[in-house]
A and B are shown apart, each in its own frame.
Chain A
Amino acid sequence: MVIRKRSHTRLLLIGSMLAILFSPSDTQLFSSPPKRPSASSTRASSGKSLSPAATQARRDQLAKIPELLADPDPNARTASMEAILSTNDTTMIQIAMRLAFQSDDVNLRSLAMRSYIAGLKGLTFDILLPPQIQAQFDAIQYDPDLLADFYKKHLYVRYLASHSNQVHLLFSKYTFESDAGSVSEVTVPGSVRAFTITGDRIATSVDMFFFGFTTSCSIEFRPDNDMLFAGTLKCNDTGNTHAIFPKLSITSPIF
C-alpha cells in the first residue's frame, strides 16, 4: 500500500512535470489565462506572457479596426476613430491612422491629422527646388566656382542650402481635442505663431532666420493619399538681400 501510494504521488508529480515539458511550444509562449481584449489588457508590458486565447483575442481586436472604420454610417466611423485614438494603444492607433489617411472621409482624415500633430514636438519638411533649378544645382554642386556663380544668380537657393533644404516646425500647446495650437520654426524658436487645423489642413506662418536676416514665411500642408504631408512654403522677399523666394513645394513622410 505504501509503495502504491508513493507511486501515485510520483505519478502525479511526474505527470505535472511532463505536462509542462511536453506541452506544445504555443503554451510555453503564452501561458497566461485568456484576457479580455481591451486595450490595456492586451498590451501587456509587464513581462507576463499571453495565452493563445489572449493572442487570438488581440488578433480579433486588431482585425476589427478596418471593419469599424469602414462602417457605412459616417457617424459610427467617427465615433470608432475617436474611441481608438483615446486608447493610447500605439499599434491600434497607427493602424487606424493609416486607414484614415487613405480614406476620403474628411472627418476621419481630420481626426487622424489632429491626433498625429498632437503627438509631435516637431515636423521636418524637405523643401523641393523647382525641377530646373534642382537640375542645375545637381550639375555644379561640387564645383566651388560654378556654385558661387549659381548662388549669385539664385540667392534663395544658397539660403535654403544653409538649412539643408529643410524647414523644421516646432509644435506646442496643442492637444488632440483642440483645433488650434502654437508653432514656430527652429531657427527662430521665440517667434511663436498660432496655427489651426481646418479639416485635415494646416495653414500658418512662421519666421525663419537665414544668414543675416529673418523673414516671414507662409506654410501650408495636408496629408495626401500616398502617406505624405505635402504643401507649399512661400517666404517674403527681402529687399536688402535681393533674395526672391518663389513658392516652393514641401513634403514629409507621415510614416
Chain B
Amino acid sequence: MASRHSVMLPIAYRCRLLLAISWMILSPLPAFSQHLPADRRNARSAASTHSAASPGKVNSAVNVRSDQLAKVTELISDADPNARLANLEAVLDTHDRSMIQKALRLAFQSDDANLRSLAMRAYIAGLEDLTLDVVLPPQVKHQYDMAQNDPDAMEALRRQYHDLGQFDKRWFKLHLVFARHTRDSTTGIVSDWHKGLEPGYFRISGDRLTASLMLDLSYRWPCNLELRPTTDLILRGTLRCLTHGEPTFPRMELSAPILNVAGAPPPSTGRR
C-alpha cells in the first residue's frame, strides 16, 4: 500500500498543479496582475475567457472573481462609516478597474458625505476629460424648440439671448479637460476643450466640484460652474457666466452620466 501511495500521490498532485497553474494564468485577480500595465491586464483577462481551458475551470475562475466583486459591496456597505472609508481607499489602491467602478457606484449611491467626497475626488482624478450637456432654462428651451423651423423667430430669440448662438455652435455641450489633480488633492486645473484659452482652476470640497474658467464664448470674464454627483449616478450642476453687457441666462443646467452607466436626461435641443 505504501508503494502504491507513493506512485498515486504524484499523479494526484500533478493534476492539482495543472489546475492551479491554469487558474493562475486565467485569473484576473489583482494579486497576480496588479504589476502589469492596465491594457495588458485587460488583454489577459479577456483572453482568459477564450482560452482552451475547460468550461469547468473557467467557471471556477469566474466564481472566484465573482466572489471578489461581491466582497466590494460588503466592504463599501460596512455599517461602520470609518471602515467604509478605509475600505474604499483600499479598493481604490488596488487599481482594479472593475472593483473601483463598482465601489464608486456604491459610494455615489450612498448618503455618506465623507464616502461621497472621497469617491468624487477619485472619480475626477481618474478622468482626463468630461463632456457635459448644457441644458437651457425650460422656458428658453421651449422657445428654442418652437423656433427650430422658423428662422425669424430664431433670429429674434438669438437677439434676446445672445449666448444662445454660442451654445448652439457647441451643440449644447461643454467639454472640460482636467489636469494636475489626484485623489488626495482638492484642487486642480481645468480648461475648455477649445484650444488657446487660459486654463482655470477647480476645487472639490466634499462631493461638490466648483470651477472657474474661460469659455470660448463672447464673455470677457470666467464662467463659474458647479457639479455634484447624484445618487442616480449623474453629475448635475449649473453654469453661470458673467457678461460685460446685457444680462443673459441667469444660469444653465449641466449634466453628465457618471461612469457612463446612468441615463442622462435627453439633450435639451434637437441639434446634435
* Whole-angstrom distance between the Cβ of B112 and the nearest chain A Cβ: 11
Could you say which residues of chain A place their CB within 8 Å of the CB of B222?
A: 168, 186
Candidates B89, B113, B203, B246; contact of A98 at CB < 8 Å? B113
* Whole-angstrom distance between the Cβ of A242 and the nearest chain B Cβ: 18
Residue in B16, B20, B247, B250 with the greatest tally of chain A CB atoms within 10 Å: B247
Could you say which residues of chain B place their CB within 8 Å of the CB of A186?
A: 212, 221-222, 242
Report the stretch among B3-11, B147-155, B170-178 that lies at the interface.
B3-11
Tally chain B residues at the interface, Cβ within 8 Å: 73
A14 contacts B30, C-beta separation under 8 Å: no
Candidates B17, B208, B251; contact of A13 at CB < 8 Å? B17
B89 contacts A253, C-beta separation under 8 Å: no
Report the stretch among B47-55, B179-187, B258-266 that lies at the interface.
B179-187
Within A70-103, which residues are at the interface with B (CB < 8 Å)? 88-91, 94-95, 98
A14 contacts B242, C-beta separation under 8 Å: no
Interface string of A22-33 (1 = CB under 8 A from B): 000111111100
* Whole-angstrom distance between the Cβ of A189 and the nearest chain B Cβ: 9
Range class of the A interface residue count? 35 or more
Separation of A30 and B91 alpha carbons in the complex (Å): 9
Candidates A3, A11, A162, A168; contact of B247 at CB < 8 Å? A162
Asked whether A45 is an interface residue with its Cβ less than 8 Å from the other chain, the reply is yes
Candidates B31, B118, B121, B201; contact of A121 at CB < 8 Å? B201
Asked whether B191 is an interface residue with its Cβ less than 8 Å from the other chain, the reply is no
Separation of A227 and B186 alpha carbons in the complex (Å): 17
B60 to A, closest residue via Cβ: A21
Asked whether A246 is an interface residue with its Cβ less than 8 Å from the other chain, the reply is no
Asked whether A68 is an interface residue with its Cβ less than 8 Å from the other chain, the reply is no
B207 to A, closest residue via Cβ: A255
Separation of A161 and B248 alpha carbons in the complex (Å): 8
Separation of A38 and B217 alpha carbons in the complex (Å): 47
A162 contacts B246, C-beta separation under 8 Å: yes
B202 to A, closest residue via Cβ: A121
Asked whether B135 is an interface residue with its Cβ less than 8 Å from the other chain, the reply is no
B206 contacts A94, C-beta separation under 8 Å: yes
B10 contacts A21, C-beta separation under 8 Å: no
B184 contacts A45, C-beta separation under 8 Å: yes
* Whole-angstrom distance between the Cβ of A17 and the nearest chain B Cβ: 4
Could you say which residues of chain A place their CB within 8 Å of the CB of B139?
A: 142
Candidates A43, A47, A121, A209; contact of B187 at CB < 8 Å? A121
Separation of A45 and B94 alpha carbons in the complex (Å): 10
A122 contacts B90, C-beta separation under 8 Å: no
Separation of A117 and B117 alpha carbons in the complex (Å): 18
* Whole-angstrom distance between the Cβ of A1 and the nearest chain B Cβ: 9
Separation of A3 and B183 alpha carbons in the complex (Å): 54
* Whole-angstrom distance between the Cβ of B151 and the nearest chain A Cβ: 19
Asked whether B86 is an interface residue with its Cβ less than 8 Å from the other chain, the reply is yes
B24 contacts A21, C-beta separation under 8 Å: yes
Asked whether B56 is an interface residue with its Cβ less than 8 Å from the other chain, the reply is no
Could you say which residues of chain A place their CB within 8 Å of the CB of B195?
A: none
B20 contacts A14, C-beta separation under 8 Å: yes
* Whole-angstrom distance between the Cβ of A175 and the nearest chain B Cβ: 15
Asked whether A165 is an interface residue with its Cβ less than 8 Å from the other chain, the reply is yes
A255 contacts B117, C-beta separation under 8 Å: yes
Asked if A62 meets B82 with Cβ closer than 8 Å, knowing A165-B250, A187-B242, the reply is: yes
Separation of A49 and B201 alpha carbons in the complex (Å): 31
* Whole-angstrom distance between the Cβ of A199 and the nearest chain B Cβ: 21
Asked whether B39 is an interface residue with its Cβ less than 8 Å from the other chain, the reply is no
Could you say which residues of chain B place their CB within 8 Å of the CB of A164?
A: 224, 240-242, 250-251
* Whole-angstrom distance between the Cβ of A143 and the nearest chain B Cβ: 10
Asked if A163 meets B242 with Cβ closer than 8 Å, knowing A55-B87, A186-B221, the reply is: yes
A18 contacts B206, C-beta separation under 8 Å: no
A63 to B, closest residue via Cβ: B82
* Whole-angstrom distance between the Cβ of B37 and the nearest chain A Cβ: 11
B94 to A, closest residue via Cβ: A49
B30 contacts A29, C-beta separation under 8 Å: yes
Candidates A55, A63, A253; contact of B208 at CB < 8 Å? A253
11 CB-based A-B contacts, threshold 8 Å: A21-B24, A56-B86, A58-B86, A58-B90, A91-B89, A91-B114, A121-B187, A124-B224, A162-B246, A211-B246, A255-B207
In the A-B complex, list the 10 residue pairs whose CB atoms are closest, starting with the nearest: A255-B206, A161-B247, A164-B240, A58-B86, A62-B82, A59-B86, A17-B20, A63-B82, A25-B68, A142-B139
* Known contacts A49-B34, A50-B89, A90-B121, then 9 further A-B pairs from the complex at CB < 8 Å, ordered by chain A residue: A21-B27, A29-B75, A29-B94, A45-B184, A142-B139, A161-B247, A162-B246, A186-B222, A255-B117
